Structure 1
């Protein structure tokens, strides 16, 4: 079974190509962005050597569902989803921050708290919290959007004072972030999940703020199972979660956190397949739909043909 590790298309009208950690992005003239969600996987801002079968399809289809379901909150960049691994959308000028919002103390925020910090991105956290506790209210902990290297925590005050985002726009980004998180929380609660934390990216097009990239996927979000959450917290047990955190934990346990001179541990076929199964499990839980594995026998040809057909329709 092949996975889509990278693409090298020459699309009609193509004017630019950008290879991200996970996405291959083609600019078509000054009209469209074609985003191919590959099966690459990254952690600690490093792309791991082995792609994960069906991961790109999972991410793209979850994002498409939630982008459609939040159109009443904020316009988004999507024009067409012509293939399970592809979204075609508007060209937007991205804001240089990622809007991270957290309802629970987990992941990076917990690691900072455990290290003794009580202020994260200018937000003060109360004493006496433990890992995975629900926060008194969701907090926004933005990061800079680095083109190269690690994103860095930043406060609202710094963003505005350094003019990274104009104050008027930034307040709108916060408003949209809270509304999107609330909508996502409500949608997955019906399916027995807790949306723990997530991130959103925004851009400008036609003088309006648009939601861009992906939302509520396992790459951008963390989920717990709602059933048994309270009992596990009371007993100081680890939460059952659906996210990429288990990949980060495996890397940490094997001596890798993205630092210089650290070697990425070997990803065995069994481990790669277990990641694929976890992504498919999340898809089915979050959408309530059965995951249909797309034909991967010649996935690159399928993707290319579907993109070209869509561009011809949109021309």
Structure 2
């Protein structure tokens, strides 16, 4: 079996029983279960959700996206070996710690296979909650141009690139295009202030103003849990993105939960501690791949300039990256997953066949 065959690139064609179109994102695909199957699984498996809660199967892939494009490699490689399993393993680890330490639950109810989550439908908070412990990336680029205010927070002069910030910064941005909110541009991914959220909490899907402080606490505590655990591995948690939503449990209580993924190389920057102390940045996250792409192509502006999106899409479509580039990414993801979980990542030769067998035999979701 070739390396390319071991990559799960297409994840929206599984024969899972559903009456709705499969929603396929850049990396994950979501299959909404029928009402009958949702109710049956809640009953059989004892999930702590309302009896009529809609459930979905979420299947991760090994696809790699960067700069809003999906990239591929030579020899028919449509993704990165081990990437999907690594992302899920890391998220599972952090979600479990959050639950054990009394922070909050997640949207995950069950993990039938390393590539698969059974999740409950959540009402998402329409905010990408970004936490930053170091000044780097887009924030550094803006700071270097003289900007000092970020999401209503003022930074002091004299900070150096990649320096630890005086405090953990929470710099939220919009998730999706929100219309009709005073002072918030109608565009995806725009920075917002705490004041924006307070003044329009319902437009961001918060149930009440008190939940803003709760969301900030979950953000800060979640960041600290991951940061402290990574520090034990001499890895640095630089910045990350969290997402939140609301679900109802079996007793009818509505609660704010973590959703999407947490603390992964896709959603975070993770730096190697020993290298940082020597004055070097070694990325254990997707940022390394982004930097490689910026150096690989002669005109990096195509990747950075949103107005050149058609050229960027053509670049990703027409350029197969060297296999070694994707294998480097694989080593980074698998390496950090095994460090975080303390377990070897077992990769299947045929993940799709394994997923189908488990969902058919153990969950009755495939005819």
| TM-score normalized by the length of structure 1 | 0.90
The Cα shift of 1:197 comes to 0.9
Contact in 2 for aligned 1:193/1:286 (Cα 8 Å): no
Aligned residues: 306
Q: Which has the larger radius of gyration?
A: 2
The Cα shift of 1:137 comes to 0.8
The Cα shift of 1:74 comes to 0.7
| Inter-partner Cα distance in structure 2 for 1:210 and 1:309 | 30
Within the alignment, does 1:94 sit opposite 2:134 as a pair? no
Within the alignment, does 1:164 sit opposite 2:204 as a pair? yes
Determine which of 327, 330, 341 is the counterpart of 1:273: 327
The Cα shift of 1:144 comes to 1.2
Q: Which residue of 2 aligns with 1:60?
A: 88
Determine which of 71, 74, 79 is the counterpart of 1:51: 79
Determine which of 286, 290, 293 is the counterpart of 1:251: 293
Q: By percentage of residues, which structure has more helix? A: 2
Stretches of 4+ aligned residues off by more than 4 angstroms: 147-150
Determine which of 111, 124, 129 is the counterpart of 2:159: 129
The Cα shift of 1:147 comes to 7.3
CA 1:6–1:151 in structure 2 vs 1: closer, same or farther (change >3 Å)? Answer: farther
The RMSD of aligned alpha carbons is 2.1
CA 1:14–1:66 in structure 2 vs 1: closer, same or farther (change >3 Å)? Answer: farther
The Cα shift of 1:311 comes to 3.1
The Cα shift of 1:146 comes to 2.1
Q: Where in structure 1 are there 5+ consecutive unaligned residues?
A: 233-237
Determine which of 38, 56, 70 is the counterpart of 1:33: 56
Residues 40-94 of structure 1, C-alpha deviations (whole Å, 9 max, x = no match): 1111222224411110000011111111111121111111111111111211111
The Cα shift of 1:10 comes to 3.1
Residues 10-41 of structure 1, C-alpha deviations (whole Å, 9 max, x = no match): 31345342111111111113531211110111
CA 1:310–1:107 in structure 2 vs 1: closer, same or farther (change >3 Å)? Answer: farther
Q: Where in structure 2 are there 5+ consecutive unaligned residues?
A: 35-52, 73-77, 179-186, 249-253
| Inter-partner Cα distance in structure 2 for 1:198 and 1:136 | 17
Within the alignment, does 1:295 sit opposite 2:348 as a pair? yes
Contact in 2 for aligned 1:142/1:153 (Cα 8 Å): yes
Contact in 1 for aligned 2:18/2:31 (Cα 8 Å): no
Once the two structures are overlaid, the 10-residue window that deviates more, 185-194 or 108-117, is 108-117
Q: Which residue of 2 aligns with 1:235?
A: none
| TM-score normalized by the length of structure 2 | 0.78
| Inter-partner Cα distance in structure 1 for 2:173 and 2:244 | 13
CA 1:205–1:160 in structure 2 vs 1: closer, same or farther (change >3 Å)? Answer: same
**SS of aligned partner of 2:230:** helix
Residues 164-210 of structure 1, C-alpha deviations (whole Å, 9 max, x = no match): 24432222111100010111111111111111111111111111111
Contact in 1 for aligned 2:89/2:341 (Cα 8 Å): no
Q: Which residue of 1 aligns with 2:176?
A: 146
CA 1:88–1:11 in structure 2 vs 1: closer, same or farther (change >3 Å)? Answer: same
| Inter-partner Cα distance in structure 1 for 2:117 and 2:177 | 21
Structure 1 residues 64-79: aligned runs within 5 Å: 64-71=92-99, 72-79=102-109
| Inter-partner Cα distance in structure 2 for 1:147 and 1:42 | 21
Residues 207-252 of structure 1, C-alpha deviations (whole Å, 9 max, x = no match): 11111111111001111122253341xxxxx312211111111222
CA 1:209–1:309 in structure 2 vs 1: closer, same or farther (change >3 Å)? Answer: farther
Contact in 1 for aligned 2:242/2:258 (Cα 8 Å): yes
Contact in 2 for aligned 1:118/1:125 (Cα 8 Å): yes
Structure 1 residues 182-201: aligned runs within 5 Å: 182-201=224-243
Q: Which residue of 2 aligns with 1:15?
A: 20
Q: Which residue of 1 aligns with 2:181?
A: none
| Inter-partner Cα distance in structure 1 for 2:71 and 2:210 | 38
